[in-house]
Amino acid sequence: MKSRHKKLALIGGALAIVGIIAALVLNALNSNIALYISPTDVAAGKAPHEKVFRIGGLVKEGSLKRQADGVTISFIVTDTDKDLVVNYKGILPDLFKEGKGVVAQGKLAGDGSFTANEVLAKHDENYMPPEAAKAVGDAHNRAAEKKAAEAANAGTDKPKASY
């Protein structure tokens, strides 16, 4: 084999190895990516089915229910606009409390609830994941706009007093 053919074979082999490594890395990264979706987006049907994703928001007051086995828990995550029932089997983090921020990772169940395989509680009183803070803020803004529109419509329905 000529030296030119050896160089071409070596370059071709190196490119093939680099391509295989790149494909394996991209496949590993793709399988570990968990998208963040708010409860409002889940209710709107924007959540992927049969794919792991994260939801976040606040644990609704009075929604925490523990089953008799002591490890199966259900609670409601809300972004103040929509609610989503979360089922989790495991030990909750120490900082997990009703009315506090939470991020859960898992999949949608057939009944529309969310089955979590991991639950993360916020670690600081002032901390909320950026995605969860945005979802809660957006829901709060929509509620304020709706209330303002209702107030404006209510004001136009009233008869005007004449003096």
Measured at the alpha carbon of residue 85, what is the angle toward residues 82 and 86, in degrees to the nearest 5? 125
Instruction: Name all domains of the chain by residue range, CATH numbers in brackets.
Output: 35-145 (2.40.50.140)
Q: Quick one: pLDDT at residue 156? A: 58
User: Which residues neighbour 83 within 8 Å (Cβ) at sequence distance 6 or greater?
Assistant: 39, 60, 76, 77
Q: Quick one: pLDDT at residue 21? A: 95
Q: Quick one: pLDDT at residue 15? A: 95
Per the DSSP assignment, residues forming a β-bridge with 55 are: 104
Q: Quick one: pLDDT at residue 99? A: 86
CA distance 140 to 148: 12
Q: Quick one: pLDDT at residue 75? A: 94
> Has residue 9 got a pLDDT over 60?
yes
Q: Quick one: pLDDT at residue 12? A: 93
In this predicted model, which residue has the larger pLDDT, 159 or 88? 88
When pLDDT is averaged across residues 71-76 and rounded to a whole number, the result is: 91
